[in-house]
Structures are given as C-alpha cells and as structure tokens.
Amino acid sequence: MSQSIPLIKRSLVDQALEQLRERIRLGTWVVGARLPTEPELAAELGISRNTVREALRVLAFSGLIEIRQGDGSYLRATIDPLATLQVLSRCSLDQARETRHSFEVEAVGLAALRRTEDDLKGLHEALDISGEHYHGDLDRYISCDLAFHQRLIDAAHNPMLSELYRYFSSVIAGALRQTLDISPRRQSVFDLHVALLEAVEQQDPERAKTLCRTLINEP
C-alpha cells in the first residue's frame, strides 16, 4: 500500500488573512477607510474574534492597516509588502540580474550626476569597511556591500529608487551568496567597486553605468 501524503492544514489565522487580503485587493475598502469592527469581521468571515484580532495584527505588521487603540483599524495600503518580499524571494539569479539592470544601472548614472560631497564621504567610508571584509566572512561582507550599494543608490536622491533597492536587497544578498561563495574571492570584483566609485566621484555617468553593468554581470 502506498503511503499517503499528509495534508498540510492552514491555520485559521492564515485563512482569515487570505480572505482579508482578497477583500483589500478587490477594493472592498479604500485607503484611509475604517474597517469593520472585530465582531463584525468575525461574523462576516465565520471565525472567532480572537482569530480576527491575530489576522489584523499581521496586517498591521506588514503595513497594510493601522490599528488605532480605542478607534479601530484603518486601511493604509492595498499592496502587501510581505507578499511582495515573498515574490522577490522566488526570483532566479538571471531574473535578479535583469531587474538590477532595469533600475540599478540608471540609478548609478543619476548618482554620478547628483552626488554631493556628503554622499562621497559616506560612500568612501562604506567602501573602506566593505574592503576590510571582502576576503573574510561572506555574510559580513555581503552586509557591508549592500550598505555601500544602498548609499550609491541614495546618492541619486530619488526616494523611490532608494526604497526599491531596500526591498530588493534581500534578493541581491541571495545572489551574492551564490556568486561569491568561492575562496579566494577574485580581487577584480572588488576593484570594480573602486572604479565605480571613482566614476561617480568624477561625475561620469556613462562610465559609472558601464561599470555597474559589468559588476552585475559578474559570474
């Protein structure tokens, strides 16, 4: 007799979250609107009030709603950041590269045009710290490298690009763990970072973009 595959039961909170997210997706409530009370939602969804309360806490943690003590819950956004991160986490290495090409290269070009002296000071400090760890612990280096690249994107002075990179940095970290998990690490890869910073400092956007493309394409 073949062994049956056990069914994975989703918790009641997960089921409540799915229903609430579906209502948000369908536009049942507009941003800024007050959601029904916990008892009303419990009756509508056919679950307990405690389950509703836990589901609302998850939505508040993810930034979809705001819970105001003594007032109720209000819709803050219609796109769930946690769901976005889950999608990003399933990106392949090639997809991550394509995405970086689509916005990081252009952001670096803007950084070369818009960087300030304060930006350059922070970039040099971040790159120095990154260099100290390049041949050491991989996770420590990746953390330092992401900090350098975040400063680089921030130098474009476009909050949207900065926020996109923050969301995408976890995917980049995963890609770096695959490409840099070698010993010894190639010095030429780190040298590209040095050249990239020089291009930004010299306000040469085309060279900065070319170097950024090369760096992203590194195997």
* Domain at 58, CATH number: 1.10.10.10
Whether residue 138 sits in one domain with residue 64: no
Same domain, 65 and 98: no
Q: Is residue 51 part of a domain?
A: yes
Q: How far is Cα 189 from Cα 181, in angstroms, rounded to an integer?
A: 13
Q: Count other C-beta atoms under 10 Å from residue 212's C-beta.
A: 26
Which of these ranges, 9-18, 173-182, 199-208, has the smallest mean pLDDT?
A: 9-18
Q: Which domain-ending residue is among 54, 78, 102?
A: 78
Q: What is d(CA 188, CA 128) in angstroms, rounded to the nearest whole number?
A: 16
Percent of the chain surpassing pLDDT 90: 63
Average pLDDT, stretch 89-97? 81
> Looking at the structure, do residues 129 and 169 belong to the same domain, yes or no?
yes
- Locate the DSSP E strands across the chain: 65-68, 72-75
* Structural domain includes residue 102: yes
In a domain, 3, yes or no: no
Q: In this structure, which amino acid lies at residue 178?
A: Q
pLDDT at residue 4 greater than cutoff 50: no
Compute the distance between CA of residue 73 and CA of residue 63 in angstroms, rounded to an integer.
12
Q: How many domains does the chain have?
A: 2
* Cβ-proximal residues to 122 (8 Å cutoff; 6+ apart), any chain: 151
| Pairing mode, strands 65-68 and 72-75 | antiparallel
In a domain, 7, yes or no: no
pLDDT tens digits, 39-76: 999 999 999 999 999 999 989 988 889 999 889 999 99
Whole domain around residue 201: which residue ranges? 91-217
Residue 135: what are its φ and ψ, rounded to 5°?
-100, 10
Find the CATH number of the domain harbouring 156. 1.20.120.530
Same domain, 95 and 192: yes
Same domain? For 54 and 146 the reply is no
Structure tokens at 89: 């986490």
Range with top average pLDDT, 81-85, 186-190, 195-199: 195-199
Identify whether residues 64 and 145 lie together within a single domain: no
Tell me the per-residue pLDDT of 168-189, one tens digit each, with 9 for 90 and over: 888 888 888 888 888 888 999 9
- What local confidence, expressed as pLDDT, does residue 127 receive? 97
CA 80 to chain CA centroid, Å, is: 12
Tokens 């976005």 locate to: 84
Token code pair at residue 104: 């990081």
Band (pLDDT 50/70/90 cuts) for residue 79 is confident
Whether 168 is covered by a domain: the verdict is yes
